[in-house]
Structures are given as structure tokens and as C-alpha cells.
Amino acid sequence: MAETVRTHWRGLRLTGLVSLALFASVMAIWQASPDALTGVRSAIRLTARTSLALFLVVFAASALARLAPSPVTRWLVEQRRYLGLAFAVSHGLHLCAIIALARLDYAVFVELTNLTAFVGGGLAYVFIAIMAATSFDRAVVWLGPRTWSRLHTTGMWYIWLSFALNFGKRIARDGAYLAPVALIALAAIIRLAARTLRQRAIPVR
């Protein structure tokens, strides 16, 4: 089964299938909600989680392949750009749900956000849009490998920080947020460990 997934879930087909699943999940949760406001808030929570899951996979993919090489981790590296595009779709749906919340109940929207979160989150979306637009080989040639690498590395770490802050600040209200925050921290540790290994040029066995 794993081999079938690696064979058929590839490239833009992978992005399309994941995106379709995301749309279907949002519509299902919307239909199951007793009213529009509840549906929007449920969609915001759902897409926040799907975005985090997809982002962490993309963020840690190359590090995992270096630290624990296997067919699965190699597949993750090969499909990283397409999973990244699926992440952009997920967070695009998240943004649409936030806009819908502001239109449905602006008082609740203001209660749940602030200027710092608005500006910080807005910059994260700028990075997501730029990185999605430059996820193809022509963009690497146009920007140059070094500039492209710096852009995507900076963007990845900024988005990581945005998730860390947004999930971390909710721990005081709900201990269930400890689990995603632990995964966010673990992803950074994995990535930094792989970077240290590469700098020391220690062969992975």
C-alpha cells in the first residue's frame, strides 16, 4: 500500500488530491454545523490544523531524509514542493474562513485577533504566496539558486515562527495545544540537527 501511495500520489496530482480532500472536509464541517458562524469557526480550526500538518511535513522533509533515509522520507523530499502547494491551498482556505468570520460577526473577529497578529499573519501570507509562486524550476533559474534558497529558507522559518506563536499563546487557555506546539518544536530540532550534521560532514548510516 505504501508503494502504491508513493507511485500514484505524485506531482500536481498529489496537490490536487490533497486540495480536493481539504475542500471536501471544509464543506462537510460546514454542512454539519448548526449555523453559519459555528461552521466558519469550525472551518478556521480545521484548516489551522491541516495547514500546520502540511507545513511541518514540508519543513522537516529534507532533514528527515538526511537523518533517517528511507523510501518514505525520499518520497517526502521528492514531493515537497507539491505538498507545499497543498499547504498554500489549506492556508488559503483558512484565510477565506477568517474573512467570512469578519463578515458574519465583526465583533467576534476583533475579539479573536489584534493588530500584531494581523500584521504578523499578513506577512506570513505574503511569504506563502511568494513561495508558492516560485515553487517551480523556472523560478529557480530566474531568481538564481542562492537567492531562491535564501527566500524559501527565510520564509519557512518565518512561517514556523508564526505557527509557534499562534499555537503557543493558546496553551494557557487549552492544554490540548501542548501537542501541536511540541510537534512544532520537534520539527525545528530535527531541522537544526540535520543542519549540524551537514556542517560537520558526518556520513549518515
Per-residue pLDDT of the chain (205 residues; tens, 9 = 90+): 445 555 568 899 999 999 999 999 999 998 999 999 999 999 999 999 999 999 999 999 999 999 999 999 999 999 999 999 999 999 999 999 999 999 998 888 888 777 777 888 899 999 999 999 999 888 888 999 999 999 999 999 999 999 999 999 999 988 899 999 999 999 999 999 998 887 775 554 4
Exposed e or buried b per residue across 8-25, where buried means at least 16 C-beta atoms within 10 angstroms of its C-beta = ebeeeebbeebbeebeeb
Q: From CA 74, how far away is CA 55, in angstroms rounded?
A: 17
What are the grid coordinates assigned to 150, written together?
Answer: 535564501
Q: From CA 134, how far away is CA 82, in angstroms rounded?
A: 12
Q: From CA 36, how far away is CA 129, in angstroms rounded?
A: 28
